[in-house]
Structure 1
Amino acid sequence: MSFRRGRIMTLPDIRWTIRRKLIVLVGTLFILTVGSNLYYRVQVATSNAAINNQERTLTLLSTVRRAASAFDDMRYWYADLANSLSTEAEEAATTAAQRLDKELEQLADIAPRRVAKIRKHVTALQEQALEALDNYVMDDRGAGNAAMDKVRAKVAAVASILSAMVEELEQQASRARAVVAQRSRATLVVSLPILITTGILTLVMGVMMLRTVVTPIGRMTQVMSQLADGDTTLEIPGVDRRDEIGQMAGAVQIFKNNAIERQRLAERERQEVAEREARARRIAETSARFERDTRELMHQVAEGASDMRTQAVAMSASAQQSCGQAATVANRASEAAAHVQAVARATENIASSIHEIVRQASQSSEIARNAVAQASDTNRTMQKLAEVAERIGEIVGLINDIAEQTNLLALNATIEAARAGEAGKGFAVVANEVKGLAEQTSKATDEIRQQITEIREVTQSAVAAIGKIGDVIGEINDISSTISGSMEQQQHATDEILDSAQLAASGTEDVTRNIQDVRAAAEDTNAVSGRVCEAAEALSRQADAMQARIGAFLKEIRSA
């Protein structure tokens, strides 16, 4: 079978080594991967910077909006204070001013001049608002209105500054958002060609490696398999290549030449072996006839000696086994007698222990019955306690309903007193007192209800636990009764065992005396069988020696 190199392998394919091809492939993929990663890192870093800038801008925008909200609250409450002269409006205005100052502290680093102007206007606004308040208190409406006009001018100035800051920050946030979107689009536009280029290069290089490396190696593997099967007529492809595949083809060519030489040497060796086998067959035929004659004679002698030795060994083994068994039986009989005596003594001890256990089991059963009765009484008491707690909870609920109704009546009375004007002020005070007492009563009943609920839950848990305790004690009582009955039966069985052990002790003594006679007879039989076995072994050794000498003689003939 021959292989022709196709046109797919050009001159550079043959001259380039596999190592160089792999270096080019891996290097190209490495450059593409590193380049694309560097580009992505630059884009991500730029996008992160734009996102961080956008987050800072949005944070500042949120701060400015909170400052504007605080300023609007302060302006509203100062205007309300000028109209109502109430303490609540003054406190709300002060709180709003504090909120505004807190937000301005966060903006002082990025816009110090504007923050300074806002604080200056706010300080003047507060002073003029208080001045207007004093004029209104002194009933000087003209001066108060003039001061409020100045306050409105300051309000307009501060609102203008805050509006300008909000507009600028919104524009900055819009620009940052546009930068982030532009970077994202640029990354998508560039990443797609990079991905396509990388895929195409990978596919092209993979096809090149498949056609210039994998396919030739597959052909070389096929040739090596056929060469291993013994086909030395095929041609080795790729011998003229200058890469690793060419080196592999050269090595396979050497294997082919060695295989041809091995076949030639094997053929010559087969001829020499055939000649030696023919000569050996002639010698074997002559020695086989002599071996058959001598083997038949020696076989008869060996059979007689073997039968004698077998019978002697069997008799000796039987005698030894009888002797050993007799000794074992004697020892076991002695041990059995001792054990039976020990069993009798142990049985007496067990009988006395069982009497004591029966007494204690009866006492435990009586204690368990008393405990069951006590647990039942305690369970009934806890159930009564739970019922009392339930009734108390119902009474507390009724008190709470009365308190709520009283609170509602007090609220109606307060409304009616307010409608009555000056004449109802005294009644309003009483109604407020009644309302306060109703609210205190409602709170107290809520606390009592919670305590009653906890008492009820604890009582129910205690009832359940006591019930379980009673069940466990009842089970203990049943087990104690069962143990007591079992121990009484065990007592009767132990008495019977004691009588049987005493009878067995007397019987084992008779067995020990009889087995000693059997042991003496077995020892005499063993001595006679030993002498017979020695004679049979001597005859067998002589037959084996003769067989060995004949075998050596035949071996010398076959090797000649």
Structure 2
Amino acid sequence: MPKALSFNTKLLLSTIGVVIVSIIILTSVNLWQSNQSLTNLGLSTIGAVGDTLYRDIEIQHQLTQEKVHADLATLERELSNIGLLFINKRQAQTMTIVNQVTQAQETAEVPSMFVGGNRIDDHHLVDRVQQMAGGTATVFQVLPGKLLRISTNVRKTNGDRAVGTYIPESSPVYQAVMRGETYLGRAFVVNAWYVTAYKPIKDIQGEIAAVLYVGRPIMNPQNRKLIIEASMGGKGQAFVYNTQGEILLHPDESMVGKRIEDQSFGDRLLSVTNGYVDYDSEGQHTLAYARYFEPWDWNIVVGITDDDLLSKARQRIYIVSAVAATALLGLAALLAMGVVRTVAKPLHRLEAYTREVATGNFNATIDYSGRDAIGETIEAVRTMVADMKHKLGYARGILDGMTTPCLVVDTSERITFINKECLAMLQLDGPPERHHGELMSQVFYNDPTRQTVVGKSMKTGEITRNLDVQIKGHKGGLVHVLANIAPLADLDGKIIGGFCIYVDLTTIKEHETQIHQQNERIAQVAREADHISEIVSSAAEELSAQVEQASRGSEIQSSRAGETATAMEQMNASVLEVAKSASNAAESADQAKEKAAAGEAKVRQVIAAISEVDRQAATLQQYMSELGQRADGIGQIITVIEDIADQTNLLALNAAIEAARAGDAGRGFAVVADEVRKLAEKTMNATKEVASAIASIQQGASKSIEATRSATEAVGRSTRLAEESGQAMHEIVRIADATAGQVQSIATASEEQSAASEEINHAVEEINRISAETADGMSQSAKAVSDLAKQALELKRLIEGLNE
């Protein structure tokens, strides 16, 4: 290079020369790399499509399994609602049954199967389950070496129900259910493959007597459309074959059912289970990607020919490469001069500045005094960084200033921010930064595999408001919270994370529980007060009646007091007559003395006779007591016999049940058990009659004992009275002597009694006055009690209103 050329010229020419050589090399390499890239892109594309199809099929399988589980639960629930299952071997019917695998026919004796007393040979149950859930359902009856369909909504190819077909014992389904296990997975049902669930059901004797089936077809319209419409920009195709080499799905319907090994590319495809493969098909080279989906036994193949993949792209690459090389050559000279002179240095400084900012250093600076486009760019970058710093600080300030529990997660559900309030809610100690980067499901539920509502919100882009959640703290406490969840998106609408804020409702829930308990207590007190008010009302009414009765009694008493005063006046006159009669009584006293002496002798004879009666009555009472004790003993024996008869009847009933379970083998034992039961019933009836008679004897004995005891007591009293009569007669003789003198004193006493009668008359008048006052007070009391009754009724009405 000549020395006369300036540095800028040398640099410019050198740069242009390097650019020319670079363009030639880069164009050549680009052409080669483009070809390789297109091939790799094609492989990546068909791989991505294949993986997408695989994931879609996997999701379809999971959804189908969940539907099958739900269908099985529905069928079980509907069957249990009908009743218990049992087999009646005595009601058998002859059927022609068909092996669903070999289509071989045979004749078999099939016992009748009942559920809740109804035969299970109609289709109402399975059709109802299909209407409720949408899947297929079947009830199998277990026969030796077979599972026979007796009720189903599975259809044959002719449209008839597949009743009478059976699963042979060689099937994994039969082997699993007969071990008492629930079979879940892929199974061949009559004429197609299904995702199925088979569950054994036991009868009342604990034997496996039936099998419940639910299933969803694998080859449904959705899966068929998914495979047939798969393509790469409208190019290529996808198809499915199984391990037996049968093509199950293909865009070309004529290929369905053919064998893969009969095709020209069959050997190449069969050599690869998972991965890429290339082969020639109808003279065209094809790139393919295969994935094996084991649950359905599907080999999913996605392929595209070279022409579809590369021909148009190669043509565009050649044209674009030529145009680009020419354009680059011209631009290289212009750009080289500008870059060398002015652009390189400030741009390098700008690059360093932006790198510092990208690492989080918002305090970095850049100096550039130019007013050109670079200066404006640098200034714009400075403004952008300042605005970012302000907005990030503002956002961080909002998060740091939150006083309610909250957190922020990224798209992988790892925590990027959590405040102290949220940690306190979860009963966790330590700084919030310690949990940054941890999975939210691990921190909240101690289960890293658990799906969270935040993850669902980020997937759907929907906001979840006021979700009532119970969270178990790490120290065992249960927290009631109201969760609000929202996805976070950037300015382009791309989801970059999720935000959760929680409102602690634990105290509110506790208060609700307390209020509920207080309301129950108030209701209880109201019920008790209502009861008390009824009692008060009743007592007030009764008291009112009693006061009214007392008032009437007072009035009667007042009337009687007046009558008594009149009677006392009459008694005064009678007292005077008594004095006159006293003298006559003296004469009668002498005669009474003589009669009393004779009576004393008779009384002594009566005392001797009554003593003998007393002794005989005591002996009779002892005999009657012994009779009562023996009657009680007989009653206890009768009670024991009744208990034995009850137990015998119960044992006979249990024996009859066991004999019924044993079938024909227990028929004789059932007859014996029935006779034992009848004998026990006769024993119980006879025992009841004897017990009734014994009870009558006991009652009679009790009455006799009581009468004897009363007679003994009466005789005792008669003895004592007779002795007292003897003494009294002796006293009469003695007193009769003194009677004459006392009669003389009666006249004097009668005069004194007349004076006392006058005083009694005055007292009776006073009583009459007091009785009138009492009657008036009783009237007022009756009014007060009536008011009390009204108040009690008002209290009851108020309490009834409170209860409402």
* TM-score in terms of structure 1 length: 0.30
Greater RCO between the two (CA within 8 Å, min separation 6)?
A: 1
Higher strand share: 2
TM-score (norm 2): 0.22
Choose between structure 1 and 2: higher helix proportion: 1
